[in-house]
Amino acid sequence: MEMEIAISLRVSIAEEGANLNEICAAVKEQVRGELPARVGEIIIEGVQENVRDRLTRPVGRSAKKGLGGHECKGESGVRCRFRTFRREGFRTEPRRVKTDVGRLEFAVGYVGCCGCGKKLAPILDVLDLRERTGHSESLEAVVSEVVSQTSYQRGEAEREARGSAPVAKSSSHRWIAGRGIPDSCPEGSVFAMADGTGFKKWPGERGDLRVVIGLNQGGKPRGLWVYAGESWESIGQDIRAKLRASQVQLELLTVNGEPGLDEHLAGVAAKGSQRCQWHLPRDLSYTLWKDGVGLEERKQRSTDLADLLGIEIPAGEYETVSEEDKEALRERVRTSEQEALNLIAEFEEKGYAKGATYLQNAFDRLFNHVKLWLETGVIAPRTTSILENMMRELGRRVKKLGWNWSDEGIVRIAKIILLRHYDREAWDSYWREALGLRNRCQIQILSLEWQLV
């Protein structure tokens, strides 16, 4: 069906005129204010009239295809075979729905089945609007979009600026916590990183949120999996199962040294794991502090470690690097590993047991990113800075958005934030499917005319 809507606007301008900013402000206020909601109501009224007319006219079944299907009156589970209807009246109270274009209000008309006598409201089926549903899913999409970026309080102001209907904080929280965002597909990911952060859990306990991200060869990140209330051991088992199911092979996992993470997740990547080269010198200083080492020596030891880690991969394409340069790089790795062993031995000699153990545990994962390049030409990340930034944003938003989260609720909001900010294409695709957007309603501006009054 097609329909044309005539819109008449009265524009009042002072005798001295109005500047461009005032004109734009007035247009924006009207377009984002009452006008979209009124247009929506008129379209719904037109669609309802068309549907009721098709159902009640003596036309063939093909004209009524997909409309008027129902169960026989008083017989649950038994489909009525009649497709002949008569017009009935309207509900005494209009249907009110909050949407992303404002509050909509429209009368709900009935038709009655001439066979079983059942009374139907076909417009609700056409609109895919369930009974007692007071808002559209498109409003949930706006709430999710806004809340993924800021707090509920600030988000309300932004939603109002977009012209959507007001939403209570409790409703926003409930919608967000109940939104089932699927896991991202790891396809295209070559590297992975993992980290965790704490959150305030119900009832007043501390919870652990753990995140695994993937990176392609260009270094672009996206969230893969989110967990809460699970150990790194069980997370590692789940990731291995998901990678097998998707037939994706990760090359290298970059970790920051969080207890349990490296031990249980290293096996998810073909080349094992790589310790973050920013965290290693930083955490060594803290470890030596626990050994009672003075400040100046701690600084020097951290600098020594940073220096031996500072191996640069040659610039340019892998194929253009000569074999002599590659062999020189291998020799540099062997030299640096020997320097690390010498440092461990020196720590043991001086009684720095914690420092020696710290370096010994990290030794096999100091230069795996370089060895991967030498073997395949693939440049892997040497630090977890990308993940650190993501976790900082995630922690900030989670702690501002709400508190006393359940494990399930925190996982859902974390997935929303990661998907919205780091995989916009997948975010848009998710909402197109969730909202059933198939371009079945399109609006064009036919003409705009004006006259002085």
Mean pLDDT, rounded, for 296-309: 94
Give the phi and the psi of residue 53 in degrees, each rounded to 5: -65, -45
Residue 47 half-sphere exposure, CB side, CA atoms within 13 Å? 19
Residues 27 and 94 in one domain: yes
User: Per-residue pLDDT tens for 345-398?
Assistant: 999 999 999 999 999 999 999 999 999 999 999 999 999 999 998 888 888 777
Tell me whether strands 221-228 and 85-90 are parallel, antiparallel or unpaired.
unpaired
Mean pLDDT, rounded, for 1-16: 83
Q: What percent of the chain has pLDDT over 70?
A: 95
Worst-scoring range by mean pLDDT, 96-105, 276-285, 439-448?
439-448
CB-CB contact of 121 with 91 (8 Å): yes
Mean pLDDT (the chain) is: 87
Residues 129 and 88 in one domain: yes
d(Cα 280, Cα 288) in Å, to the nearest integer? Answer: 12
Sheet holding 85-90, edge to edge: 85-90, 109-113, 119-120
Residues 128 and 142 in one domain: no
Residues 355 and 290 in one domain: yes
Is residue 174 one of the residues assigned to a domain? yes
pLDDT level of residue 81 (50, 70, 90 thresholds): confident
Residues 111 and 160 in one domain: no
Is residue 201 one of the residues assigned to a domain? no
d(Cα 222, Cα 390) in Å, to the nearest integer? Answer: 10
Residues 144 and 87 in one domain: no
Residues 43 and 147 in one domain: no
pLDDT level of residue 36 (50, 70, 90 thresholds): confident
Residue 82 has pLDDT above 90, yes or no: no
In which region does residue 128 sit, left (phi positive, over 0), alpha (psi from -120 to 50) or beta (all else)?
left
Q: What's the pLDDT score for residue 158?
A: 67
Is residue 448 one of the residues assigned to a domain? no
User: Per-residue pLDDT tens for 395-423?
Assistant: 877 776 556 778 888 898 889 889 988 88
Mean pLDDT, rounded, for 142-155: 74
pLDDT level of residue 84 (50, 70, 90 thresholds): confident
pLDDT level of residue 193 (50, 70, 90 thresholds): very high
Is residue 306 one of the residues assigned to a domain? yes
Residue 28 has pLDDT above 80, yes or no: no
Longest dimension (CA), the chain: 99
- Any residues with CB less than 8 A from the CB of 235 and at least 6 apart, and which? 194, 210, 212, 225, 227, 264, 265
Of 336, 356, 382, the residue at which a domain comes to its end is 382
d(Cα 289, Cα 281) in Å, to the nearest integer? Answer: 13
| DSSP bridge partners of 102 | 99
d(Cα 142, Cα 144) in Å, to the nearest integer? Answer: 5
Residues 341 and 378 in one domain: yes
Q: What's the pLDDT score for residue 68?
A: 86
Residue 154 has pLDDT above 70, yes or no: no
Is residue 36 one of the residues assigned to a domain? yes
Residues 53 and 114 in one domain: yes
Q: What's the pLDDT score for residue 451?
A: 76
Is residue 354 one of the residues assigned to a domain? yes
Q: Where are the alpha helices (DSSP H) in 351-422?
A: 353-362, 368-376, 385-401, 407-422
Residues 82 and 156 in one domain: no
pLDDT level of residue 317 (50, 70, 90 thresholds): confident
Is residue 308 one of the residues assigned to a domain? yes
Residues 125 and 144 in one domain: no
How many structural domains is the chain composed of? 3
- The residue segments making up the domain with residue 337 are 277-382
pLDDT level of residue 157 (50, 70, 90 thresholds): low
Is residue 144 one of the residues assigned to a domain? yes
Residues 24 and 115 in one domain: yes
User: Per-residue pLDDT tens for 40-67?
Assistant: 999 999 999 988 998 898 776 677 788 8
